[in-house]
């Protein structure tokens, strides 16, 4: 059977209907981001739930997110961590970070989430120094698509054995698809996918939910 655009939309709608439940805190986080004029590019509730489930399958002590936006995915991720587990989330736009901080407060998670404001390629090396190798249970990449290979290079040593590297938009950013691989952002995402797939210490696959989610587990 051919996956036509109409079938894809129907599949997304079905996933949203059946697996897209969310509570008032998450609903409010989406509404507040829209109200503040943030771009409508947060993960959908079904993807958020997948992030939570995946985080809950790890040791769940420490997660790192690259690309906070209004905090929507950060709330899901943190809910998947073990009690007391922490999220460090990186955002270069201080307005986005401000909206996210408010939502983390409202969600009762501000004691477990730290927002680091700055460009990821500047923040990550310092963070790597601070956290040390093998310290991160879940890393979620969702910022500048052109920089995905560098994010992977910086996060790679930080992931704990048994930990997960996740990345959003790996089948193409912003609703595009693999047939637009000529675009710089998509080409860079493709490079990262191939680097992760070839990394001997990871087992990786990408699932075509929304814009595609890479799931890579550090096996050694």
Positions in 58-77 near ligand SAH (CB under 6 A): 67-69, 72-73
Query: Is position 137 an interface residue for ligand SAH (rule: CB under 6 A)?
Result: no
Query: Is position 178 an interface residue for ligand SAH (rule: CB under 6 A)?
Result: no
Residue owning tokens 């493709």: 190
Residue 58 neighbours by CB distance under 10 Å: 23
Q: Which stretch binds ligand SAH (CB under 6 A): 2-10, 36-44, 128-136, 180-188?
A: 36-44
Tell me which of 65, 91, 137, 142 binds Mg ion, using CB under 5 A: 142
Q: Give the per-residue contact string, 144-173, with ligand SAH (x = CB under 6 A; - = no).
A: x--x--------------------------
Longest dimension (CA), the chain: 50
Q: Sign of the C-alpha dihedral, residues 121, 123, 128, 129?
A: positive
* Residue environment code for 156-178, b if the CB has 16+ CB neighbours within 10 A, otherwise e: bebbbeebbbbbbbbbbbeeeee
Tell me which of 46, 65, 168, 190 binds Mg ion, using CB under 5 A: 168
Query: Is position 42 an interface residue for ligand SAH (rule: CB under 6 A)?
Result: yes
Question: CB of 162: closest distance to Mg ion in angstroms?
Answer: 25
Residue 187 neighbours by CB distance under 10 Å: 13
Query: Is position 127 an interface residue for ligand SAH (rule: CB under 6 A)?
Result: no
Closest CA to 219 of 160, 167, 166, 168: 160
Q: Which residues bind ligand SAH (CB under 6 A)?
A: 41-43, 67-69, 72-73, 90-93, 96, 119-120, 142-144, 147
């Amino acid at each position: 059977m051919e996956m036509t655009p109409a079938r894809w939309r129907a599949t997304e709608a079905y996933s949203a209907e059946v697996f897209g439940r969310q509570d008032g805190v998450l609903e409010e986080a989406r509404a507040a981001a829209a109200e503040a004029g943030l771009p409508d590019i947060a993960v959908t509730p079904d993807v958020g739930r997948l992030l939570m489930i995946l985080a809950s399958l790890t040791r769940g002590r420490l997660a790192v997110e690259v690309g906070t936006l209004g905090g929507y995915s950060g709330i899901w991720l943190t809910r998947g961590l073990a009690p007391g587990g922490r999220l460090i989330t990186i955002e270069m736009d201080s307005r986005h970070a401000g909206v996210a901080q408010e939502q983390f407060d409202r969600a009762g998670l501000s004691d477990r989430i730290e927002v680091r404001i700055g460009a990821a390629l500047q923040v990550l090396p310092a963070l790597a120094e601070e956290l040390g190798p093998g310290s991160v249970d879940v890393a979620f990449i969702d910022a500048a698509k052109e920089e995905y290979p560098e994010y992977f290079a910086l996060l790679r040593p930080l992931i704990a054995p048994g930990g997960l590297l996740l990345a959003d938009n790996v089948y193409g950013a912003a609703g595009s698809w693999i047939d637009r691989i000529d675009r710089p952002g998509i080409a860079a995402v493709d490079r990262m996918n191939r680097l992760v797939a070839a990394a001997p210490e990871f087992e990786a696959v990408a699932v075509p939910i929304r814009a595609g989610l890479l799931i890579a587990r550090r096996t050694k």
